[in-house]
Structure 1
Amino acid sequence: MWVGGVLAFFVLLFVLLFAFRSKLLSYTVNRVIAKVESRYPVDMHIGNAEFVDWNSVVLSDISLVPHDRDTLFTTDSVYASVGLRSLFKGRIVFRRLEVNDSYLTAVKKGDVTNFDFLLKKDEKTPAQPKDSTAAGRNYGQLLNRLIETAFDNVPDQVDFKNLNASYTSTNRTIDVRMPYLLVDDGTIESDVCVRTDSLVNNMHVKGTIDARDYNISASLFASDTAGIRLPYVKQKFDATVAFDTLHVSLKDKKYRNNNLTVRGNAMVNNLVINHPKVAAEDVHVAEGAVDYVVTLGPNLYVVDSLTEVRVNKARANVYASYQPRPSKIIDLKVKTDKIPGNDFFNSLPAGLFENLEGIQAQGWLQYDLKFHLNMDSLEQVVFDSDLDASKDFKIVKWGNTNIEKINSSFTHTMYEYGKPIRTFTVGPANPFYAPLHTISPYLRNAILSAEDAGFYSHKGFHEEAFRQAIIKNLKEGEFARGGSTISMQLVKNVFLTRQKTVARKVEEAIIVWLIENLDLVSKNRLFEVYLNIIEWGPDVYGAKDASRFYFGKQPSELNLAEAIFLTSIIPSPKRYRASFDSHGNLRSWKSGYYRMLGGIMRRRGLITQEEYENLYPNVQLYGRARDLIVTAPDTATVEEEDTSQYELESIDMLDF
């Protein structure tokens, strides 16, 4: 009797639930709509909601339309399973969702969008200080809202079929198409086609997500041979960036005192970079990775020193910060542990440093960089760069280029605008070759005083000259001065192209370090080769060729005035005619350079007081130079003040 009563009760309960479940569904749907519309300035519409079996619901004709804006979201239908327990409790909780034919359409017209309400600050969030707007936009706060909005709307179980998203503005169109997107208890999987203007990327995505802890890990795999290419970098930076696989994660985020700190990692495989300012060819990185800790806040952008960057097997800890207000302050620190020499050279990206590819070494290397810049006090720039090596470090096998070739005769080719213009032997077989002792001491000492006074004492680098170059370039807003030593100029001329790329400057520094710190080439030999290959005029290379071209004499016979003239045109040899009038006399503004360089040589004991007092800024032209200069039209239209300034600044510097 008791059992029969219980069964009757449950039968009645099920009958009541079945009878009233439609009303319960309607109540739930209306409550969802009211909740969304109370939180956001939108109209939410659900055309129909009904049970299709005991615990399955279909919602159809769904849309989300911001007030006075274009429709943001529509979907054809949503199938959802309903938990029986929730029905017994008198409420409906949707469990697994199947969403069909959905369209998320973001539109920006001028400054008006149909999605910015999603990123606006919650009214419950404490107000920012009144001066925060004046201090600049808080991108940490903006990113925090974006992360929380995204994670707060991740369902536990959903199966999207034909999910589409797009963004359209005046000058940009992005379309994302996903035949399917599956989110199932923290796992994510999808095929994705992204069209950004004319660029199309096809990829497969797999990952995991924990919305409560703001944790996501995703892997993107290219679905075709084109790889995954970053959009807009070609139009904006004239660059190409592509890769086969990208693994990225957000492990933690904290928002305190208006600062957002995010932690995670990323790894990329088969990365290809092409940019004319980076390198002349494609740069390939087999594997690159970063473990990052980044903080964003009001006027604060910091990459924490816990951040580790890895390129193949080489690892470095990086600290970087940028403070835009009230003063623009930039700090950069790079520090590596001891890296085995072979790991260092094998980790250099292919296509970046042609001369260094294939080098084998023993021992270890360690690098440390410190850079500090305050734009309100440029004179206080800090630049310390130090590459240390173990005592047993040495090159055991050269790769593409034998750096020690300059110890003996070698063939050298001069290039102009990327094309070879002349090839000659640097050695006794060349009748225009001049051993160091056959070159006038006046010329040797004048060049050392002007180009690199510490040549015989430093190890290839002059950090103070480089620091001063940074200061001057920042003050003038352009690359007006470099900090190159004679060793750097020689390496640039002998081993590298004339292309102004970041890769060339880094490769130049590495080769100079190898030569100077491993004592691969003596200082005298470096100086001798330098004096025999530098350009001094039209198809004029080396001290002997220059002496004969301008003065019809041997380099050993040059006097002080002739030596100073030849030194003055090293930074810009193609402008040699600008130094003379139509009669072959040095122009008057040259006297400033003569007084300056002559004074330096006198103070250093390289010339006597008498030689300095008798120094007169004039030379007598003979040979081919006289035929070209004296018969040429008057070049008095040259701006003497600007040219004089350029000449004076040639001391201890060379163009990039």
Structure 2
Amino acid sequence: MNQRLKQSILIGAGVVVGLFLILLISLFAFRSSLLSYTVNRVVEKVESRYPVDLTIGSAKFNGLTSVVLSDISLVPHGQPQLFKTDSVHASVGFRSLFKGRIVLRGLNVSNGYLTAIKDGDRNNFSFLFKNGSAQPVDTTAKGGRNYGALLNRVLETAFDNVPDQVDFNNLNVSYTSPNRKIDIKMPFLTIEDGKIASEVSIRTDSLTNNMFVKGTINPRDYNIKASLYTSDTLGIRLPYIQEKFSGTVAFDTLHLGMTDKRFRRDKLTVKGTAMVNNLTVNHEKLADEPIFLREGAVNYVVSLGQNLFVVDSLTEVRVNRARANVYASYSNANSKVIDLKVRTEELPANDFFESLPTGLFETLEGIQAEGKLQYKMKFHVDLDSVERVVFDSDLDASEDFKVVKWGKANLDKLKGPFMHTMYEYGKPIRTFMVGPANPFYAPLNQISPYLRNAVLTAEDAGFYSHKGFHEEAFRQAIATNIKKREFVRGGSTISMQLVKNVFLTRKKTVSRKVEEAIIVWLIENERIISKNRMFEIYLNIIEWGPDVYGAKDASRFYFGKQPSELNLAESIFLTSIIPSPKRYRSSFDSYGNLRSWKSGYYRLIGGIMARRGLISQAEYENLQPNVRLYGRARDLIVTAPDAEYEDTTEFELETIDMLGF
């Protein structure tokens, strides 16, 4: 290469370098103007979209490609300030500078405060969920509120505003209303390349939760996964449970995820997963002791629309190792209708029993079994006609199902004599032998047929034909409880009453009722004892008055005779006080005569017994609501001075005629 060519190349290179330096100097000379232009565009864009005033106190370069925005605030029109932050540090790429625009990357926000305030119908945040510029989404269209549309707008707003990369230092979020105060403090929150990490302290009124949060997010696909881990020994506790329901719910870890979101034809469908570890639930209406679940999970498909909420049948719930598909729906378009279906595949019996949360069914804890079990349940109710409630529940066992070890309660004890303790208000009051060694024990064949048949008629007419459950009675009980909005009727069979008395407490909890049903199923399915044996035990342990237990004790207490000697009228009286034995005195006046209102019960039970051939027509026609008290019962009941037994037969018969029996 000759000398002149070398000189030309050097001159050209110098010119290029010079021009680049001139351009670079020009860019840096005008970058402040470019930053100001960019900031103004951002402010204009935000204020054109929302009814707010966005203020950025200052914007300047701090170093070669670092930008600092200071004193930023967002104030809705006519409302208190929603957001403010001391400073935002960001970086600017060379490429964006050369293109004549500024793209801020790597946001670092210090001392941010998001303050949501609600006062009646006024608040400073609802504008975020408006559809367009003027009006909010119409979620209250004719026919009712569409919660699907509302939630869809909330999700879209949240995902649309997720930054690509941000690092918050000391982020504070609060919500204040006349009856609520929530404060959230995050020493750090980072979002980078779709990964989320944070430390969070949430105070709701007087309850504080401390936790770590990790997860991933893909705003474009509406995909998010988050894991919440407790950072102290107290666990993560749900707020307001104590205040609203007088209970507590706490857990160590919660994993939440949403994998898909679709909004079509005014209906939102969301798919995802959730899993909780070491869940503790404590409520006196659920169980006597805290309920502990080691691991629970759900793969859910949920739809929300106008007057509609549906948990799709594709939803799978897992409790430890037991899995079930669940369908649930609530619709109030014309009337309030609730549907619930639960179905499991066949699963090993041990998996079923070992998966039961501890504290929920104490009597069954430790039980071991072979074979397989499958559960199916269907529930339907229209709250405008609850008497038509549908409830079907079936627990099916394989042919090789067998219990190989009982839990805390040994059901085999029913086969022979056993010690039985009666409790009152959770305290033991009397223990006695259920068997021939007890002089007050009466074998079934030594109890009057009148009493046996009267008890069966009043308490469980299908006892000898069903397998522990009377579905129609149970449906009626559900209808009654829904109407009363409390647990007032249980639909119990004699089998269920026996289990309740021998193995369980008398507290009316959800767990006790379910545990009762499982034990009854085991007794009936395993054929542990015969129906006669069950009925015999039942008649020898039920309460019939003050420290009066069993048919023999009752017949001697009230009538001074053996249970085999009871007549029809005496048997119907004893049957009448089984539901409320402590109110035995209310059946009599101060002279020891049955009160007139008892006549209706006599005609009802006696009439049913006659129609079923349990007594003759002549016995029914001669039946009088009249009994003679002897012994201890007379001493306790008769309080009139110098009272003699008064025959009120004529008065009682007149009352029967008046009642139309």
The interval holding the TM-score normalised by the smaller chain is over 0.9
**Mapped contact 2:54–2:72 kept (Cα < 8 A):** yes
1:233 to 207, 225, 241: 241
The one-letter code of the counterpart of 2:123 is: T
Map of 1:552 onto structure 2: 560
Deviation of 1:325 (Å): 2.6
1-structure distance, mates of 2:193, 2:487: 56
- 1:257-308 alpha-carbon deviations (Å, 9 max, x no partner): 1111111111111111101111111111000001111111110000111111
Q: Do residues 450 (structure 1) and 450 (structure 2) align?
A: no
Map of 1:269 onto structure 2: 277
The one-letter code of the counterpart of 1:207 is: G
SS at match of 2:62: strand
Identify if the C-alpha distance between structure 1 residues 373 and 62 changes in structure 2 by more than 3 Å, giving closer, same or farther: same
**Mapped contact 2:129–2:136 kept (Cα < 8 A):** no
Q: Do residues 571 (structure 1) and 579 (structure 2) align?
A: yes
Identify if the C-alpha distance between structure 1 residues 452 and 594 changes in structure 2 by more than 3 Å, giving closer, same or farther: same
The aligned runs of 1:243-642 (5 Å cut-off) are 243-631=251-639
The one-letter code of the counterpart of 1:50 is: K
SS at match of 2:552: helix
The one-letter code of the counterpart of 2:35 is: L
Map of 1:637 onto structure 2: none
SS at match of 2:408: coil
Bigger shift: 180-189 or 377-386? Answer: 377-386
Identify if the C-alpha distance between structure 1 residues 147 and 127 changes in structure 2 by more than 3 Å, giving closer, same or farther: closer
**Mapped contact 2:454–2:571 kept (Cα < 8 A):** yes
- 1:450-506 alpha-carbon deviations (Å, 9 max, x no partner): 111110111100111111222233344444432110000000011000111111001
Deviation of 1:404 (Å): 1.4
2:62 to 52, 72, 78: 52
SS at match of 1:133: coil
1:21 to 24, 28, 31: 31
SS at match of 2:569: helix
Q: Do residues 171 (structure 1) and 183 (structure 2) align?
A: no
The aligned runs of 1:174-185 (5 Å cut-off) are 174-185=182-193
Deviation of 1:9 (Å): 2.9
The one-letter code of the counterpart of 2:419 is: T
Deviation of 1:508 (Å): 0.3
**Mapped contact 2:369–2:402 kept (Cα < 8 A):** yes
The one-letter code of the counterpart of 2:47 is: E
- 1:401-438 alpha-carbon deviations (Å, 9 max, x no partner): 10111111111111111111111111111111111110
Q: Do residues 114 (structure 1) and 124 (structure 2) align?
A: yes
**Mapped contact 2:559–2:631 kept (Cα < 8 A):** yes
- 1:527-559 alpha-carbon deviations (Å, 9 max, x no partner): 000001111111111000100111000000000
The one-letter code of the counterpart of 1:569 is: I
1:84 to 87, 94, 100: 94
Map of 2:113 onto structure 1: 103
The one-letter code of the counterpart of 1:535 is: E
The aligned runs of 1:1-12 (5 Å cut-off) are 1-12=11-22
2-structure distance, mates of 1:172, 1:381: 38
SS at match of 1:265: strand
Map of 2:7 onto structure 1: none
1-structure distance, mates of 2:387, 2:199: 54
1-structure distance, mates of 2:166, 2:640: 82
Deviation of 1:376 (Å): 2.7
2-structure distance, mates of 1:98, 1:127: 33
2-structure distance, mates of 1:632, 1:27: 102
- 1:596-651 alpha-carbon deviations (Å, 9 max, x no partner): 111111111110111111111110111111111111699xxxxxxxxx9xxx9xxx
**Mapped contact 2:49–2:133 kept (Cα < 8 A):** no
Structure 1, unpaired ranges of 5+ = 635-643, 649-656
After superposition, the CA RMSD in angstroms is 1.7
The one-letter code of the counterpart of 2:298 is: V
Deviation of 1:390 (Å): 0.4
Map of 1:653 onto structure 2: none
Map of 2:229 onto structure 1: 221
The one-letter code of the counterpart of 2:36 is: S
1-structure distance, mates of 2:407, 2:423: 23
1-structure distance, mates of 2:210, 2:84: 24
Q: Do residues 154 (structure 1) and 162 (structure 2) align?
A: yes
2-structure distance, mates of 1:140, 1:366: 34
The one-letter code of the counterpart of 1:357 is: E
2-structure distance, mates of 1:9, 1:492: 95
2-structure distance, mates of 1:196, 1:376: 37
The one-letter code of the counterpart of 1:100 is: S
Bigger shift: 4-13 or 67-76? Answer: 4-13
1:202 to 210, 215, 224: 210
SS at match of 1:53: coil
The one-letter code of the counterpart of 2:608 is: I
2-structure distance, mates of 1:385, 1:125: 48
Deviation of 1:377 (Å): 3.0
Q: Do residues 193 (structure 1) and 201 (structure 2) align?
A: yes
Deviation of 1:590 (Å): 1.1
Structure 2, unpaired ranges of 5+ = 1-10, 644-654
2-structure distance, mates of 1:141, 1:506: 38
Deviation of 1:332 (Å): 0.2
- 1:370-399 alpha-carbon deviations (Å, 9 max, x no partner): 011112333432111010000010100112
The one-letter code of the counterpart of 1:180 is: F
Map of 2:76 onto structure 1: 66
1-structure distance, mates of 2:339, 2:164: 43
Deviation of 1:589 (Å): 1.4
Residue identity (%): 72
Deviation of 1:126 (Å): 11
**Mapped contact 2:198–2:213 kept (Cα < 8 A):** yes
1-structure distance, mates of 2:471, 2:233: 46
1:37 to 28, 35, 47: 47
**Mapped contact 2:259–2:272 kept (Cα < 8 A):** yes
The one-letter code of the counterpart of 1:449 is: T
